Amino acid sequence: TCSSSWSRPVDATGSGERRRVAAVKPPLWLLAELTYRCPLHCAFCSNPVDYTRYGNELGTHEWVRVFREARAMGAVQLGFSGGEPLVREDLEELVAAAHELGFYTNLITSGVGLAPQRAQALKKAGLDHIQLSFQDSSRELNDFLSSTRTFDLKQRVARTIKDLGYPMVLNCVMHRYNLPHVGRIIEMAESMEADFLELANVQYYGWAWRNREMLMPSRAALATAEAVVEAHRPRLAGRMKILWVVPDYAEAKPKPCMAGWGSVFLVVAPDGVALPCHSARMLPGLDFPSVREHTIGSIWHDSPAFRAYRGTGWMSSTCASCDDREKDHGGCRCQAFLLTGDATATDPVCPKSPRHAEVQAMVAAAADVRDIGGAPIRFVPGARRSGDLVFRT
Ligand code: FES
């Protein structure tokens, strides 16, 4: 599926395309997936389902070298993610190194492990921003969906974040189960004095892909939830911003995934494998390079994997002839592969895709939460399975 070579990009559309591919900008956003280890077991986790195969984590010095090289290329933002990055005992050291290099640093966390002392140490190390995830406004559903008892802990962590003077940034992944609670989730965020609430409808990768039939909301549930969000906005103006991320499958157009493959984002997985997005490792035919063997510069500019879907030269005629090809970049390569078995296919979320009807049929078949048939869902925290819902191990 790789349509460009290490030495010479394929020129599918003429010299203009050759120039665009040649003028590759550096990565601006480095996502350091420090570990796949996580105390939570969320049913919608985007980590690979076979993540235990990639347990050979980079050491502190290796990470710092990655940061240094990415920064030297021009990267400005560094996200610490996982898994749960707080399970890394060297997180403070990594944050300090990133801060010294001049990165804007962001911790993406479930909050588990963020005791006040640790939060203070991270602040002292120069951490700029913390994004705290919630699963729901109710203890019952929060603890069920993460398969842990963490609801109360998250409330305490939110207080700690606020006390340290950080902007309060909450994130809640939305799906069939918690969409009916969206109003209460907004009110909860408000009572926690959140400055920013991200309501991100679930994207179907990793564990969420495995659970997609169970997680997918009906169009009616989505429309109702969106109306609730819109009704809250005027009241919250100037106090709390709400970002409502529409689910892909229900969108009229495909998303410009990662702002284009190998264009802005560079993900480094816990074992040092460099990826253009967090899901790309499952794509066949691509040999993703490791930072243990290559510099960030050569990975970004020269590796076949990062060049494979960069620009427009790889596109099928459907995408290559589309006026939006520079805007949506043909949608998401991982989604195209998961839905069609071909990573070069037009993302089936796009109405121009010959497989679009299948996505529409999936959305149409999604039932409201009260109508879910089959084995009854029991909200049991700690369960590994409930009905057909499988929790991350
Ligand atoms: Fe991999 Fe979209 S998630 S390209």
pLDDT values of the chain reduced to their tens digit, one per residue, 393 residues: 222 222 223 333 334 444 444 578 999 999 999 999 887 778 888 888 777 788 799 999 999 999 999 999 999 999 999 889 999 999 999 999 999 999 999 999 999 899 999 999 999 999 999 999 998 888 888 887 777 788 888 889 999 999 999 998 999 999 988 999 999 999 999 999 999 999 999 999 888 888 888 888 989 999 999 999 999 999 999 999 999 998 888 888 899 999 999 999 999 999 999 999 999 999 999 999 999 999 999 999 999 999 999 999 999 999 999 999 999 998 999 999 999 999 999 999 999 999 999 999 988 888 665 544 434 455 444 445 556 677 777
Q: Which atom of ligand 1 is nearest to the CA of 261?
A: 4
pLDDT for res 370: 52
Structure tokens at 226: 């969106």
Nearest CA to ligand 1 atom 2: 332
pLDDT for res 389: 74
Taking the centre of ligand 1 as the mean of its atom positions, its distance from the CA of residue 339, in whole angstroms, is: 12
Structure tokens at 301: 């500019």
**DSSP character string of 299-338:** HHHH-HHHHTTSSSTT--HHHHT-TTHHHHTTS-HHHHHH
Q: Which atom of ligand 1 is nearest to the CA of 277?
A: 1
Taking the centre of ligand 1 as the mean of its atom positions, its distance from the CA of residue 314, in whole angstroms, is: 15
Whole-number Cα distances in Å, 98 to 108, 287, 370 = 15, 28, 47
Mutational pocket test of ligand 1: of 257, 306, 309, 319, the residue with most ligand atoms within 8 Å of the beta carbon: 257
Instruction: Identify residue 43 by its one-letter amino acid code.
Output: A
Structure tokens at 21: 């591919």
In which element (H, E) is residue 241 found?
Answer: strand 241-245
User: Is 322 assigned to a binding site?
Assistant: no
In which element (H, E) is residue 234 found?
Answer: helix 219-236
Taking the centre of ligand 1 as the mean of its atom positions, its distance from the CA of residue 258, in whole angstroms, is: 7
User: Is 172 assigned to a binding site?
Assistant: no
Structure tokens at 18: 């050759």
Taking the centre of ligand 1 as the mean of its atom positions, its distance from the CA of residue 260, in whole angstroms, is: 9
Q: Which atom of ligand 1 is nearest to the CA of 332?
A: 2
Longest CA pairwise span in the chain (Å): 59
User: Is 45 assigned to a binding site?
Assistant: yes
Structure tokens at 195: 């400055």
ipTM of the complex: 0.94
- Ligand 1 neighbour 308 (Cβ under 6 A): no
pLDDT for res 371: 42
Across-strand partners of 132?
A: 109, 170
Taking the centre of ligand 1 as the mean of its atom positions, its distance from the CA of residue 140, in whole angstroms, is: 32
Task: Give the C-alpha separation, 66 to 54, whole Å.
Answer: 18
